[in-house]
Structure 1
């Protein structure tokens, strides 16, 4: 089984989710998304797998949300996705992809549903 985790090593939930996977014998492909942000196409694919709209995946309390103008309610889907690609700190984490599905590890046990 191929498993990916969009991971931020400074985030406790992200570390806990990675540890949870490893404790189950899963060594996921770790993507440190702050260093290697997903492309627009990848983010579209992730959103589709999550069944979410872009704003639902955004960390709205981050300063970049307002400074990048992403709090503008008139922005369309593509503008919001581009904003997350340009400011990956705004992407909620961790995101695990497995079996053609995706889950956010908040709490970490959420990811067990897709394994």
Structure 2
């Protein structure tokens, strides 16, 4: 397979892991998905590509957190049950932390002892 095909497949895998982490509540499965996400992120060729990929996902996760906070606030204003919305927010916040850690792992993989 050529480099572009491998990169496309890698990004699709990362998309899948991120999507699953947004929704999964089982701690064991989340841990497995987190490991797979880190492994997949480390498959990209150059460090700059790997960091850019992680930066894109970190930005998206930050946007999701902002949107979900607005959703929770809106539901609270109308007196609706916010339990599921808060759980989703917790998942997004944890995913954001996982992605930040993944970025650090990518940087650490390139330059062990620094980071």
Q: TM-score, normalised by structure 1?
A: 0.26
Greater helix share, structure number: 2
Tell which structure's C-alpha radius of gyration is larger. Answer: 2
Bigger relative contact order (CA 8 A; separation at least 6)? 1
